[in-house]
Amino acid sequence: MSLKRALNIADLRDLARQRLPRMVFDYIDGGAEDEITLNANRARLSQYRLRWNALVDVSTVDLSTSLMGTKTSLPFLISPTAASRLFHPREGERAVARAAQKAGMIYSISTIGSVSIEEIAKLSDGPKWFQVYVWRDKSLVEGILDRVRGAGFTGLILTVDVPVAGNRERDPRNDFTIPPRITPRTVTQMLTRPGYLWDVATTPTINPANFPDQRSRGGIIEFINSQFDTSVTWDYAKWLKEAWGGPLAIKGISHGRDAVRAIEAGADAVWVSNHGGRQLDTAPATIDTLDEVVQAVAGRAEVIFDGGVRRGSDIAKALTLGASGVAIGRAYLYGLAAAGEPGVEKAIDILRDELERTLRLMGCPQLNALDRRLLDLPAMH
């Protein structure tokens, strides 16, 4: 199948599988332990049911909105993902940032991105957010915040569902590390994907681009583990909000009590996420926790949702339940791995078209017409 013939995100996933060595595909596609949460995110989304308003003028549909004060032409945004050059060694984050800019949508980059903050700022003047983790070295974070501010990023995301890395068993089974190591298993997998191998061999090593001093200390994973602070509490979020001084989203919230704590810490957006099923396995599907968080937030902050989004109708469901915005992870990574920038553009186009069609079919030409009465919730257990 060619990119042109890809009809949906599942087709882009097939193309990504054909292009990537198994270990890299598994790193995107997989989740923690038995992948119960990974699968639940998709399975539960598919059980929510949409209804529609008949005979509404849907000749024009408006998808534009604003999230944490950032204007965007789409209610879905690019979720931060680490080291995107792994998935497309030549372009990585550059391809995603350019495609997002063309679409007029928010791009967010991970602290452990493989392209620097400054380079992203230079190639895209579109809306941009930056994601940080809870890190041991506050001066390292302060230094990063100065760079992020200087580069014109308008929102900060604090990810709070990674006190330690999740147990993703596909990775050790495949001997997978970042950057990839040479072992009989990885070489065998690489040799079956000569195009990818060529790209890796002819481009710079994939490293945490924002921390050039740390490169010599080992791979990205070692760097991350050395920086994660497992002892921090909500005071860190308060400190970060003050140090940043701008709009802050707290990503990785799983219940209403933490949503309230996030608001008390100064969050402008509460982000419902289980890291795409990559952290605590057997956590509930995010769509099943969204309602509780929306109720707890009670309009005091925005709510962003992610987890398992592969269709425009998934986005419509989260918005109908009260999310202000929906983040996509694997959906664009499959496009990136399949074909670089045109692949990400294709993923965005697919989701935009599907969402627009879904809104027309639902008789909701504006996002604020999405009304909870149009969504049937499945039984919880």
* Dist. CA 250–CA 271, nearest whole Å: 6
* Dist. CA 274–CA 16, nearest whole Å: 23
Determine, following the binding rule CB under 6 A, whether residue 241 of this chain makes contact with ligand FMN.
no
Is 354 within 8 Å of 331 (Cβ atoms)?
no
Q: Nearest distance from residue 36's CB to ligand FMN, in Å?
A: 14
Query: For ligand FMN, what does the binding mask look like between residues 17 and 36, x meaning CB under 6 A?
Result: ----------xx--------
Determine, following the binding rule CB under 6 A, whether residue 81 of this chain makes contact with ligand FMN.
yes
Among candidates 78, 84, 68, 120, which has minimal Cα distance to 103?
Answer: 78
Question: Which of 16, 21, 22, 80 is the binder for ligand FMN (CB under 6 A)?
Answer: 80
Q: How many residues does the chain have?
A: 381
Q: Nearest distance from residue 30's CB to ligand FMN, in Å?
A: 9
* Dist. CA 276–CA 310, nearest whole Å: 12
Given the DSSP bridges, would you call strands 128-133 and 302-306 parallel, antiparallel or unpaired? unpaired
Q: What is the DSSP string of 26-83?
A: HHHH--STT-HHHHHHHHHHHHSEE---SS---SS-B--EEETTEEESSSEEEPP-S-
In the bound complex, which residue of the shown chain has the CB atom lying closest to ligand FMN?
329
Task: Quote the tokens at residue 317.
Answer: 């469901």
**For this structure, is 88 an active site residue?**
no
Q: Nearest distance from residue 59's CB to ligand FMN, in Å?
A: 31
* Dist. CA 37–CA 371, nearest whole Å: 27
Task: Quote the tokens at residue 163.
Answer: 């006190």
Nearest residue (CB) to ligand FMN, 302 versus 306 = 306
Q: Nearest distance from residue 166's CB to ligand FMN, in Å?
A: 10
Question: Which of 37, 70, 72, 110 is the binder for ligand FMN (CB under 6 A)?
Answer: 110
* Dist. CA 207–CA 212, nearest whole Å: 8
Q: Nearest distance from residue 53's CB to ligand FMN, in Å?
A: 28
Nearest residue (CB) to ligand FMN, 58 versus 332 = 332
Task: Quote the tokens at residue 169.
Answer: 């068993």
Is 68 within 8 Å of 269 (Cβ atoms)?
yes
| 298-337 positions binding ligand FMN, by CB under 6 A | 306-309, 328-331, 333
**DSSP state, residue 377:** P
Is 310 within 8 Å of 276 (Cβ atoms)?
no
How many chain residues bind ligand FMN (CB under 6 A)? Answer: 25
Query: For ligand FMN, what does the binding mask look like between residues 189 and 228, x meaning CB under 6 A?
Result: ----------------------------------------
Determine, following the binding rule CB under 6 A, whether residue 131 of this chain makes contact with ligand FMN.
yes
Question: Which of 168, 251, 311, 346 is the binder for ligand FMN (CB under 6 A)?
Answer: 251
Calculate the dihedral angle through the C-alpha atoms of 309, 314, 318, 324, rounding to the nearest 10 degrees: 70
Nearest residue (CB) to ligand FMN, 58 versus 200 = 200
Bridge partners of 70, per DSSP, are 67
Nearest residue (CB) to ligand FMN, 58 versus 132 = 132
Query: For ligand FMN, what does the binding mask look like between residues 149 and 178, x meaning CB under 6 A?
Result: ----------x-------------------
Q: Nearest distance from residue 327's CB to ligand FMN, in Å?
A: 6
Nearest residue (CB) to ligand FMN, 121 versus 156 = 156
Contacts with ligand FMN by CB under 6 A lie at 27-28, 41, 79-82, 110, 112, 131, 159, 251, 273, 275-276, 278, 306-309, 328-331, 333
